[in-house]
Amino acid sequence: MYEKLSINRLIKQLKEVSEPLPDNRTGQNKQYDLVDAVMGAFSVFFTQSASFLEHQRNMKLNKGRCNAESLFELSEVPSDNQIRNLLDDVGPTNLEPMYAYIFKALQETDILNGYRSFANQWLVAIDGTEYFSSQNIHCENCSHRVLKNGKTNYYHSVLTPVMVKGGKEHVITLEPEFIVPQDGDEKQDCELKAAKRWLEKHGDRYAKLGVTILGDDLFSRQPFCQALKEQLLHYILVCKPDSHEMLYQSVDFLSANGVLKTQQRRRWNGRYGEIDIYRYANKLPLRGDDAAMEVNWCEITTVREDTGEQIYKNAFATDFEVSETTVEAIVADGRARWKVENENNNVLKTKGYHLEHNFGHGSQYLASVLLSLNLLAFLFHTVLDLMDEKYHAIRKALGKRQTFFQDLDALLRYFPFNTWEDVLSFMFVGLELDTG
């Protein structure tokens, strides 16, 4: 186990990141430290137990000590309402150093080497998702939409970049960018604007490491592609005909004249043969004006060999040169973007993290800082599954994610532990496991 990424070190690091957070309270009402509010909220997300802190207060009364203190390093255990009040003034960007710490520590292992892909690049998929919605509760940081019934729906959303790799089970959560109204901007904030801000903050650092940005059709527009080019970031972005009329006119022209490059590959999926049909071309105009930038384009259509039924079709704009020897790899990387939805956003919404649950809205930053702590909890579990043999063996033995968290909740409710190593050892021995 690499010490910088042990569960104990990660908890300590989050506390260190939280200690200098600005505390805007005035007067004498400072019974609880702000850092206890951060670690308390994080403990709820990490254990996936909404009642965790209540259980720990009861344990403290009955046994004189509790797991919130020993495992999450809380000095005092605040109530849920106290946590919400304390965290409302804390901007989520204050927690960004934690993401940077984990990424840097992962670089020092060989874990991220396995995420390198075409052209020795890391793949970062970007996508937006909502995490709060209400027709009644709202704040100055809410976005809004008018519904068909004339009522206003208020919501929060966030851009969630993750490192992905085809064939890899885990995605690596990176710094989120929150979609909120921007000072001096008359229009509502949106996913595309948030993506540009993310590039401005983090693009240079990731470009130096070798990163290709993946995204859906929303991002394959010239302003964003130009921003990627200026940051020296590569890209493979979904590119649909109805939003790229000029590009597809060029494709149709090349095809009609018999000069559009094509090739086929046959695969066996275990039940029947599939044919992957690739079409590709380089230096096509991304839009229909004199200032259009040129991009390279590739398309895949997959059909059943026996029936000719179309199974899949998609196309991508990229800055990589597409050729007979590169088209398969470029398309495979482009298709990996679905992992940001299936193995990140959907897991966060449906596998216990309850991304869309209203844990607290507040009047300023509460909803977004709680969301960031939830993302960090997910990232912590990802790192532990990658790095900690006991943790990985326990998760594998228990099968369902829900079972693991149910067992963890029960243990931490009834038994005080001194360290996380004691918790994992208890589960490991109880399950009669052997890391072999």
pLDDT at 357 over 70: no
Cα dihedral value 381, 386, 389, 394, nearest 10: 40
Do the domain assignments include residue 184? no
- Taking phi over 0 as left and psi of -120 to 50 as alpha, with beta for the rest, 105 belongs to alpha
Greatest mean pLDDT range, 26-40, 81-95, 142-156, 286-300: 286-300
Do 305 and 369 fall into the same domain?
Answer: no
> Do 192 and 218 meet the contact criterion of CB atoms below 8 Å apart?
yes
**Residue corresponding to tokens 């004006």:** 289
> Do 165 and 123 meet the contact criterion of CB atoms below 8 Å apart?
yes
Do 3 and 91 fall into the same domain?
Answer: yes
The residue from 272, 299, 324 where one domain ends is 324
pLDDT at 355: 57
Do the domain assignments include residue 151? no
Indicate whether this model's pTM tops 0.85.
yes
pLDDT at 83 over 80: yes
pLDDT at 203 over 70: yes
Do 291 and 376 fall into the same domain?
Answer: no
Do the domain assignments include residue 374? yes
Query: Domain residues for 418?
Result: 1-98+359-436
pLDDT at 239: 97
Which range is least confidently modeled, 94-103, 327-336, 341-350, 380-389? 341-350
Can you tell me the distance from the alpha carbon of 97 to that of 101, in angstroms, rounded to the nearest whole number?
A: 6
Average pLDDT, the chain: 91
Do the domain assignments include residue 84? yes
Do the domain assignments include residue 341? no
pLDDT at 348 over 70: no
Q: How many domains does the chain have?
A: 2
Do the domain assignments include residue 283? yes
Do the domain assignments include residue 61? yes
Tens of pLDDT, residue by residue over 87-142, are 998 999 999 999 999 999 999 998 999 999 999 999 999 999 888 878 888 887 88
Do 14 and 60 fall into the same domain?
Answer: yes
pLDDT at 141: 81
Tens of pLDDT, residue by residue over 172-198, are 999 999 998 776 566 778 899 999 999
Do 309 and 379 fall into the same domain?
Answer: no
Tens of pLDDT, residue by residue over 139-162, are 878 888 888 888 888 888 999 999
Do the domain assignments include residue 312? yes
- Average pLDDT value for residue range 19-25: 83
